[in-house]
């Protein structure tokens, strides 16, 4: 569609063309200015549009570059070689952690063995000390028992000698040597005159022998 500009001239009244035209200009020169844009304004507008277009293109390119970088990074993360490297690194880390765990397990075992050896050594030292003290105690006890036994034997020996002396003093031989006589009636010892009567035959034992005697009368 071609636009219609009404430009009758220096008229103060409106004409019919003013109402049917697309645009009304007060003069033909003004209509020409309206129909043909100003070069400076057009250049300014074009410069502004160029700047806007350039900025929009830069923003678009920057956004696309950023998205491309993200896609490249994601692609590099999921690349088979990168995945293999990650798995290899994880495997190495797991292997190192396992070695550390084994080392940590081995350290308590070594410490336990050292502690066990130390305890055994301490126990051996204590046992040896107790054995030495026990041997000393047994030696002292043996000496005490030996001394006590010797003293006891000496005491019993003295008592035995004393009792033997007493028994020797009371023995029949000693009594016979002192002038006593042992009267036997048959196989029995005569202890009382009530056991005798006239005519009984007695065996009279003296210190140097025995004689047969007869009871002649009763008193």
End-to-end CA separation in angstroms for the chain:
205
**Looking at residue 188, what DSSP letter applies?**
E
Residues 6+ apart with CB under 8 A from 189: 182, 183
In a domain, 219, yes or no: no
Where in the sequence is the domain holding 17, given as residue range(s)? 5-71
Reply yes or no on whether the pLDDT at 69 is more than 70.
yes
In which band, very low, low, confident or very high, does the pLDDT at 71 lie, cut at 50, 70 and 90? Answer: confident
In a domain, 195, yes or no: yes
In this structure, the answer to whether residues 85 and 14 fall within a common structural domain is no
> In the chain, which ranges are E strands?
5-6, 23-24, 182-185, 188-189, 201-206, 209-214
Q: What does the alpha-carbon distance between residue 165 and residue 171 come to, in Å, rounded to a whole number?
A: 10
In this structure, the answer to whether residues 166 and 190 fall within a common structural domain is no
pLDDT digits (tens, 9 = 90+) for 7-40: 877 666 777 877 888 888 888 888 888 888 777 8
In this structure, the answer to whether residues 47 and 109 fall within a common structural domain is no
In this structure, the answer to whether residues 184 and 166 fall within a common structural domain is no
Q: What is the pLDDT of residue 109?
A: 64
Tallying the residues shown for the chain, one arrives at 219
In this structure, the answer to whether residues 105 and 38 fall within a common structural domain is no
Q: What does the alpha-carbon distance between residue 76 and residue 65 come to, in Å, rounded to a whole number?
A: 16
In this structure, the answer to whether residues 92 and 60 fall within a common structural domain is no
In this structure, the answer to whether residues 161 and 178 fall within a common structural domain is no
Number of domains in the chain: 3
In a domain, 97, yes or no: yes
> In 149-208, which ranges are E strands?
182-185, 188-189, 201-206
Q: What does the alpha-carbon distance between residue 211 and residue 62 come to, in Å, rounded to a whole number?
A: 164
Closest to 29 in 3D by CA, of 10, 12, 14: 10
Q: What predicted TM-score, i.e. pTM, was given to this entire model? A: 0.29
Q: What does the alpha-carbon distance between residue 50 and residue 37 come to, in Å, rounded to a whole number?
A: 18
Q: What does the alpha-carbon distance between residue 17 and residue 12 come to, in Å, rounded to a whole number?
A: 14
């Amino acid at each position: 569609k071609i636009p219609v500009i009404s430009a009758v001239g220096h008229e103060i009244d409106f004409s019919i063309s003013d109402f049917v035209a697309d645009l009304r200009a007060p003069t033909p020169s003004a209509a020409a200015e309206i129909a043909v844009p100003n070069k400076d304004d057009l250049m300014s507008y074009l410069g502004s549009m160029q700047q806007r277009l350039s900025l929009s293109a830069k923003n678009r390119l920057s956004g696309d570059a950023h998205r491309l970088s993200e896609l490249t990074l994601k692609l590099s993360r999921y690349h088979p070689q990168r995945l293999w490297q990650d798995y290899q690194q994880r495997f190495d880390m797991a292997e190192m952690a396992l070695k550390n765990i084994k080392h940590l397990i081995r350290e308590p075992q070594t410490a336990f063995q050292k502690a066990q050896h130390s305890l055994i050594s301490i126990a051996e030292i204590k046992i040896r000390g107790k054995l030495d003290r026990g041997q000393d105690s047994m030696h002292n006890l043996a000496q005490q028992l030996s001394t006590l036994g010797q003293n006891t034997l000496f005491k019993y020996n003295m008592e035995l000698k004393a009792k033997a002396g007493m028994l020797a003093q009371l023995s029949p031989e000693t009594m016979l040597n002192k002038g006593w006589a042992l009267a036997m009636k048959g196989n029995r010892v005569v202890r009382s005159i009530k056991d005798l009567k006239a005519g009984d035959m007695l065996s009279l034992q003296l210190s140097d022998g025995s004689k047969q005697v007869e009871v002649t009368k009763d008193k």
